[in-house]
Amino acid sequence: MRILIAEYAVATGLGGTYEIEGRAMLSTIAGSFVRCGHRVVYPTSGPVVDAGVPLRLEHGDLEGFLSSIDADAGLVVAPDPLAPDLIEAVESRMVNLGSGREAAQLCADKLGCTLALKRAGVPVADIVESPECECSVYVVKPRYGCGSEGVIISSYPNAPEGCIATRYVEGVHLSVSFIRGRDRFLPLTINRQLIEMRGSRFVYAGSQVPYRSPRADEIWDVAKRAADALGLKGYAGIDLVVGDLPRVVDVNARLTTSIVGCARVVRWELADLILRASFGGLPERVEVDGEITFRLDEL
């Protein structure tokens, strides 16, 4: 099959840590598809990775590029607020190997996503809607953001325009990597997030993959319920804080940076699993062997 992988930072020259993470994710998944015998193409503003064929993106018009290219299947990896339109462009031309436009749009809206999960009975970090809330610590973050960008700790629940405030949850910062198909949820790894505080800001610095938690069954139950409630498809990741309960704090309806470690410890080609999520035949489980810790400044 001819597989298109559209990673936004590499395609548009976004720069900074976005490009570092983007190149790492692109290299990881492109290599997996190539090892499975598929032909991979990817748009780029200049950077190349060690698998697949680069296609020069002119004028930075990624959506237009996706609306005109031919491939059998495609995968979009983009900042959450930008992903829905890019996914729609892919779906107009080929099989989309990731979550659909509606699921991506819901996950991009941190307020809407949190409320949808709460309605489904999934534990979340509760939205603070009143300045009279009796909490002493809050997390303030952009309603439409990506990763830990713009996330701060605050003593006040008043969120500025375009942001939301949630209760601060004490616990271990984890993420889960999984693949969801039409009729099966396949756990991959639980990961410990390396979080650094820079002043009042949260900064994601890397991951330990996997993290062997004694509460794994509880964590996977919450993750599956969240994935089902949001209609995720293919490879996705969910961030949780595990304290009194595993509470969902963010949902990524796409590849996450943890795939860099996941690909090294999961004894199955991730590309094959992603294809099986769309076309059928996902296994009940996969073997996980070994452990890797990586930092963004080392990628």
Q: Are residues 177 and 158 in the same domain?
A: no
| Chain Cα centroid distance, residue 173 | 15
3-state secondary structure the chain: CEEEEEEHHHHHCCCHHHHHHHHHHHHHHHHHHHHCCCEEEEEECCCCCCCCEEEECCCCCHHHHHCCCCCCEEEEECCCCCHHHHHHHHHCCCEECCCCHHHHHHHHCHHHHHHHHHHCCCCECCECCCCCCCCCCEEEEECCCCCCCCCEEECCCCCCCCEEEEECCCCEEEEEEEEECCCCEEEEEEEEEEEEEECCEEEEEEEEECCCCCCHHHHHHHHHHHHHHHCCCEEEEEEEEECCCEEEEEEECCCCCCHHHHHHHECCCHHHHHHHHHHCCCCCCCCECCCEEEEHHHC
**What pLDDT score was predicted for residue 89?**
97
181 pLDDT higher than 90: yes
> For 3-43, how does the pLDDT look when each residue is reduced to its tens digit (9 = 90+)?
999 999 999 998 888 899 999 999 999 999 999 999 999 99
Tokens at residue 6, please?
A: 């559209």
Tokens at residue 8, please?
A: 């936004």
CATH code at position 49:
3.40.50.11770
Q: How many domains does the chain have?
A: 3
Q: Are residues 88 and 179 in the same domain?
A: no
Q: Are residues 78 and 49 in the same domain?
A: yes
**What pLDDT score was predicted for residue 299?**
82
Provide the residue count of the chain.
299
**What pLDDT score was predicted for residue 80?**
93
156 pLDDT higher than 90: no
Q: Are residues 177 and 236 in the same domain?
A: yes
Q: Are 82 and 60 in contact (CB under 8 A)?
A: no
Q: Are residues 145 and 221 in the same domain?
A: no
**What pLDDT score was predicted for residue 242?**
98
Q: Are residues 15 and 76 in the same domain?
A: yes
- For residue 108, being part of any structural domain is answered with no
Q: Are 144 and 131 in contact (CB under 8 A)?
A: no
- For residue 105, being part of any structural domain is answered with no
133 pLDDT higher than 70: no
pTM comes to 0.95
- For residue 134, being part of any structural domain is answered with yes
CATH code at position 254:
3.30.470.20
- For residue 111, being part of any structural domain is answered with no
Tokens at residue 182, please?
A: 């039409």
| Chain Cα centroid distance, residue 51 | 21
Q: Are residues 86 and 130 in the same domain?
A: no
Domain holding 74, by residue range, is 2-97
Q: Which residue has the higher pLDDT, 219 or 202?
A: 219
The arithmetic mean of pLDDT across residues 266-282, rounded, is: 97
